[in-house]
Chains A and B, each alone.
Chain A
Amino acid sequence: MIRLVKRAAFAAALIVPLAATAQVLEVATDASPVGLDPHVATAFSTALVNGNIYEGLTAVDKDLKVVPAVAESWTISPDGKTYVFKIRKGGTFHNGKPITAADVVYSFERVLKKETGSPFASRFALVKSTTVQGDDVKVELTDPSAPFLSQLVVLSIVPSNHGDLQREANGTGPFKLTQWVPDTYLQLTKHDGYWDKGMPKLGSLKINIVPEASTRQVGISTGIYQFMPSIDASTAVALKGNPTVKLLETRDLAYSLVGMNTTIAPFDKPQVREAFNLALDRAKIVQAAYFGHAVPGGPLSPALSEWATPVSQFSCYAHDANKAKALLKEAGFAGDVPVTLKVLGSIQTVRDVAQVVQAQLNAAGFKAQLEIQEQGKFIQDWRNSNFESFVSQNGGSPDPDDYFYRTFRTGGSTNVFKYSNPELDKLLDEARTMQDQAKRKAAYAQAQQTLACRGPIAHIAYATLFTAVRNNVQGYELIATRSTRYLRETSLAR
């Protein structure tokens, strides 16, 4: 027995120096992942972890272009209804099983199956069939779908022989989950069977959960942490000028917003919604809540430069408190209009935006009251449309259809505002099957005009997305979708 222990200790002594040369990146983030099943768990905090464990057939790069991932390449039939994906060879899942076409078909089926309960299922409602064709996968759609390739990013490929995915992560990504101490850290280690040989460059990622903002700030300033993804403006301002920390920045697809319930007073009246927009001084909000690190935005992020209409073309974006008051009068309100805004309390920026919005509303004929809510309650009220209005932050998607269709179409799956506009419905139905890019752009330009002033959402601002890294972190690139895909190309300078 003793000899056995000694031998084990000897072996450990041999291994340790080797392991020490593998680079570890210390990451700090504020919240723990909630569930790991990539087809079900969709909370923000889960994405940071799962984004490095799983991949879809496609991925989105730093220019928001669709690039191959598990699929090496693909062909599309002329009618836009049949896709054939060539699956990569030579890679394995984290459990050692080689990646095959059958696994891809299995993953599609798993997402679409009702028992899985996947929220992504509705995005793939157009999928008619998926079949194995030799080493390839053939996907047939009922209608052509322009955003299909970019939507495939979220359909993580899992092996057909997986265990309980909520507990045992098992993907094709560059890192595999090796340890999870809840609310403390997650250890992700290099996956040796990754299809892209030579990647990842790091030996492991240690994702530390640090709830207190000032503690994270001190942590990266002293070098305890080396990488802090998606930090808010206040943290960025605090770290600016620190010679040991680099701030990477890009325009965020996520945006702050005020959502309005279009079935209850006062927001059932379109004039009130327009008055709301006029009451807001977005430039001031950007200054006050984002320290200037954001741009006012309309329904689409300015990061989507091909699609987004400049805000100067929306009439109600020119702040005018008197015009707002006049519109409220026109809508039949005599005194100040009382409104309650429920606020997603877990994000500092959202809380700050809410306070500035409140002050501006109260100067323009509204009497606004805030209710800061804990995340769980907020989500429940949001899903049940139990609000007059709310202040929140939403993640955006690289294709306009993905966002517009589910949010603004009558009966859309995230249309919690109960907004219904038959004209817009028709426009959105047509636009999603258009193959002609110019026509599609014109359609979405029109949709943006319709939605900007009298839609159910007052879009406020798109922040600068900051990520703080220590000076020795190399090769990382930011993506506006907040994906941390480039961690596979990241390394630490000696």
Chain B
Amino acid sequence: MNLPSEHVLQLRHTAAQAIRSFFYTRKFWEVDTPVRLPAPAPELHIVAEPAGAQYLRTSPELHMKRMLTAGAHDIFQLGPCFRAQEYGSRHRPEFMMLEWYRRDADYMIILQDMQDLISHVIDTVSSQTGLSPHFDPSNPWEIHTIQDIYLERAGWDPVSNFDPDRFDLDMVNIIEPSLPPGHCSILMDYPSPVAALARRKPDNPLVAERWELYAGGLELANAFSELTDPVEQRERFEKAVEEKRMRGEAVYPLDEAFLAVLEDDGLPPCAGVALGFDRLLMALTGVEDIACVLPFPH
């Protein structure tokens, strides 16, 4: 079969249209940012694909933040991202990412966008394609802090005593499989060593203002109250580069243009969400393999 399935094309079109109409209605600007970058954000465990002397973007995050600094208010982008070596039933090295940022918001405010967006996409897709959605976003969303869910289900506290290997293994072996099918769950307040680009909680610096959305046990989206402090941002980048170097991963130059914008012009307070578009389609249709929702699966 070298031809894409018509159902998949219709599903993708309808979901993309629903996403765009959702953001247009809320006066978000649709933006586009470079796909080829000289300096992708250094994140541990995320490997950028080289493209000539540059790299394919692993996320549009840093350029979208520069747009906020330039005066854009609320912005979104739906486009391809690339992460080397990621291939499995929930992963492709090239995938579609929806990313949006809201000014003067934090991670709890932007959670409302997330809930409204999921409902809107499900309503649109089910009314236009006749698909009966595999989960119901009007079921109450389960909201857990990382500390509580690990204490309850894995028997230890990753916030007071972080162990990166145990954290990841327990996440895939214990926590994710325990999330109820058919429901949306939010895991929030991640230990600060896995804050990534999230700001730390003002009243508890051991945790970062970050949440992840799950549909059943399938991870769909990641959100932050964005880190705006230029000094802490540079320190985290340098630390991530150092850790990547120690693990034998490729390292790239720091995005000095982004850091200069943070230092000189300042990033306004904002929150952002990155949502895997293909994963969202997996959740809607209830399929176990990402290949089932891709026009060209391999």
Q: Do A and B bind each other?
A: no
A interface residue numbers (CB < 8 A to B): none
B interface residue numbers (CB < 8 A to A): none
